[in-house]
């Protein structure tokens, strides 16, 4: 299955008042694997960004002045998206802007050009009711690093959302799980065995990280007057392994 994770940046919040798309980022998944066949473009919106939007994405009018206009990238974008299942966080926002851009060019609406649309914000609210479900919150929840995300960027956000989506749906063909009878003997073991195992990545601590860890233990040991639990546990482990 071909899926496209899509994100946009815009000059403001309302396409009906003339706000425009200034960046599009798309990440391709095929059978739940990143392919590297991504689409990214900055776009000259022929207008300034609102102050609030500029603070979010940092894309100035000067930076965008020599970038292609939407009409110049529309054909390539439509060809890239054609027939794919599209994954968007808060889909009505991005689709509303893209529909406005397509309407200016007398092109078919977004939903008519793609296979289907998955809104990860809707899914996240169903999975985590009452919790924060912004992209940053989901990155924290699923252990996905977004430390390099100082400002919003369409391609970077699409890459993060792709990781979030894969984490949210790991072990499921869809987010609507069928009811399964797990009361029979061995049923739970069979269900667990059916889940695909994620690749285990082991990262060794660097010398700098180890030094920071030891410094923290020294501080804890001093505050605990030599009774730091971590130091005691380490001593017991060393005795047991001697």
Q: Is 152 a catalytic residue?
A: yes
Q: What averages of pLDDT result for each successive group of 10 residues across the chain (242 residues)?
A: 97 96 98 96 97 93 97 98 98 98 98 97 96 95 82 89 96 42 48 52 77 79 69 58 50
Active-site residue, from 57, 89, 148, 152: 152
Q: What is the pLDDT of residue 163?
A: 96
What is the C-alpha separation between 142 and 148, in angstroms, rounded? 16
Question: What residue spans define the domains of the chain?
Answer: 2-168, 207-241
What pTM, to 2 d.p., does this model score?
0.70
Q: What is the pLDDT of residue 181?
A: 44
**What is the assigned CATH class of domain 2-168?**
alpha beta
């Amino acid at each position: 299955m071909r899926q496209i994770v899509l994100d946009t940046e815009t000059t403001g919040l309302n396409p009906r008042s003339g706000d425009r798309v200034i960046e599009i980022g798309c990440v391709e998944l095929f059978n739940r694997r990143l392919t590297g066949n991504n689409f990214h473009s900055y776009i000259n919106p022929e207008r300034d960004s609102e102050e609030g939007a500029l603070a979010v994405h940092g894309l100035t009018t000067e930076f965008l002045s020599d970038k292609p206009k939407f009409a110049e990238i529309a054909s390539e974008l439509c060809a890239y998206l054609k027939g794919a299942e599209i994954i968007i966080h808060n889909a009505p926002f991005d689709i509303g802007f893209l529909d406005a851009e397509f309407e200016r060019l007398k092109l078919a609406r977004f939903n008519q050009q793609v296979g289907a649309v998955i809104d990860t914000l809707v899914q996240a609210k169903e999975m985590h009711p009452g919790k924060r479900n912004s992209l940053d919150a989901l990155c924290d929840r699923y252990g996905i690093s977004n430390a390099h995300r100082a400002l919003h960027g369409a391609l970077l956000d699409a890459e993060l959302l792709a990781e979030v989506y894969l984490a949210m749906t790991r072990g499921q063909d869809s987010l609507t799980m069928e009811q399964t009878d797990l009361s029979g003997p061995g049923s739970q073991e069979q269900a667990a065995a059916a889940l695909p195992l994620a690749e285990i990545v082991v990262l060794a601590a660097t010398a700098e990280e180890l030094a920071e860890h030891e410094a923290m233990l020294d501080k804890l040991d001093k505050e605990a007057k030599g009774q730091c639990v971590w130091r005691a546990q380490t001593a017991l482990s060393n005795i047991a392994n001697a």
